[in-house]
Amino acid sequence: MRLRDTAEDADFRARLRQWLVVAVRELPPVPARDDWSGRRTFDTSWQRRLFDAGYAGVSWPAEFGGGGATPSQQMIFLQETHRAHAPDIGVCFIGLAHAGPTLIARGTDQQKAAHLPKILRGEEIWCQGFSEPGAGSDLASLRTPARIEGDHYVVTGQKIWTSYAPVADYCELLVRTDPDAPAHKGITWLIMAMDSPGVTVRPLRTALGSTEYAELFLEEVRIPIANRVGDENAGWSVAMVTLEFERGTALLGELLTTAEILEIVVRTAQECGRWDDPIVRTRAGRSRADLGALWALASRNVSRTPGPRDVGGNVFKLAYTEARFRLDDLAAEVLGPRGLAFEATRAVSYDPVEERVRSFMFSIAGGTTQVQRNIVAERGLGMPR
């Protein structure tokens, strides 16, 4: 058991750190939150820089153009990019973390060749069309039907919570191809070009006031059968590939962000005198313990090959959400009346007020806290379903 870098990892870290110093210095100004075309340009040009330096898709297997990094190197990559205040994955998220890995696992050679290099170079942005107004936690109950006409699927329906839809080129789309089969057995995974006729994107304003999600309205959209990933009606197992892929490190970037929020909270408390309050200090120390333990948990999860009943990712998400809420509340306490308004400028890297509102997504997106608990109890502890 070791936490210290091996010689190889230390070398990886040193080279990355050195590269980041220069790369970050040359960054253009950060675009405004809802300036989507500006964000696409910013995020994709950073992705291109990563690609040129050999750091694109650091976790992808080398044979598909990725970095082939070990889990510990993936952690180092996240640590170092945060440390350097480099941009995060941004609008490239679904392509790099969801669609790409899914194509690697289940795509045809043609699909891989068409998309993987572009995803890595930041030339292709993806969004996710999974949830529907009637299918949230119970994703398998999704209804959006697809029928075959010639060599196309024809899709009419509605998707919701489609992240990055305003700037996406492709959508990983789950559709119902067999309405009579059991819920999990009638779903198909399709690659849908967002410029297909019949696709309408309507931004969905979140509780933050932001628009990174959208509703997707599909009206007789024609998708080539060649764009199907996996077999017809096998889409559920294709979608699960992604979830398995992201198990280890999905929330690691968020954990590092959280450590930054804690630093901001402490600095703020020290500046405004709240740090003299022993209760504030105790709560800050408690949050520090949360983050340290979560880092240890992430290290354990990525060091282990998950077994079939593994619930490491679910446990991490539950623990992270609880720690995050605790910290967000402390931040509000320390900020006092300043916690009642968002930061006026977007110049600060993190606004604790914004983060407090954003935190809802941790207990809801990707499986609510309640669904996660069911999974941990049923799969992890053998409770009856």
Partner 1 sequence: MTFDLTDDQDTLRRTARELCGRLYPMSAVRTFEDRGTVDRSGWTEFASAGMFVLHRDEDQGGLGLGRVELALVFEELGRALVPGPLASTAAAAGVIEQAKPDAVIGIADNRGAAPFTVEHLSSLDWIVAVGRDVVVVDAAAIDRSAVRAGGAPLDPLTPIALVDRLPAGERIGGSELAAQLLRDGALLVAAQAAGAAAAATDLSAAYALQREQFGVRIGTFQAVKHLLADMRVHAELAQVAVEAAAVLIDEGSAEADAAVSTAKVVAGEAATANGRSCVQIHGGMGFAWEVDAHLFQKRAWVLEHLFGTTTDHSRALADGWRVNLEEQGAEHGHS
Residue type, 16: L
Identify the residue whose tokens are 């931004």: 203
HSE-CB at 295 with a 13 A cutoff on CA atoms is 15
Cβ atoms of 154 and 221 within 8 Å: the answer is yes
Task: Select from 341, 338, 297, 304 the least CA-distant residue to 319.
Answer: 297
**Looking at the DSSP assignment, which residues form a beta bridge with residue 214?**
162, 203
Coil vs helix vs strand at 302: helix
Distance CA 211, CA 375 (A): 30
Q: d(Cα 38, Cα 297) in Å, to the nearest integer?
A: 36
Identify the residue whose tokens are 């910013």.
Answer: 42
Smallest gap from Cβ 53 to partner 1, in A, equals: 19
CA 230/CA 9 separation, integer angstroms? 36
Distance of CA 51 to the CA centre of its chain: 19
CB of 264 to partner 1, least distance (A): 10
Nearer to partner 1, 181 or 383 (CB): 383
Nearest to residue 40, comparing CAs of 53, 51, 23, 28? Answer: 28
Catalytic residue among 123, 215, 232, 246: 246
Residue identified by tokens 């992201």 is 246
Q: How far is the CB of 370 from partner 1 (least distance, A)?
A: 7
Minimum separation from the CB atom of position 40 to partner 1 (A): 28
Contact 375, 307 (CB under 8 A): no
Tokens representing residue 264 in the block: 């901001």
How far is residue 65 CA from its own chain's centroid? 21
Enumerate residues 6+ apart whose C-beta is below 8 A from 288. Answer: 262
Residues pairing with 171 in the sheet:
127, 192
Which residue, 83 or 346, is less far from partner 1 as judged by CB?
A: 83
- Cα separation, 279 vs 360, in Å, equals 25
Residues that bind partner 1 (CB under 8 A): 1-7, 9-10, 13, 72, 75-76, 79-80, 82-83, 255-256, 259, 262-263, 266, 278, 281-286, 288-297, 299-300, 303-304, 311, 315, 318-319, 322, 370, 372-378, 380-384
Query: Helical H runs in 222-277?
Result: 235-245, 252-272
246 is an active site residue? yes
Annotated catalytic residues are 246
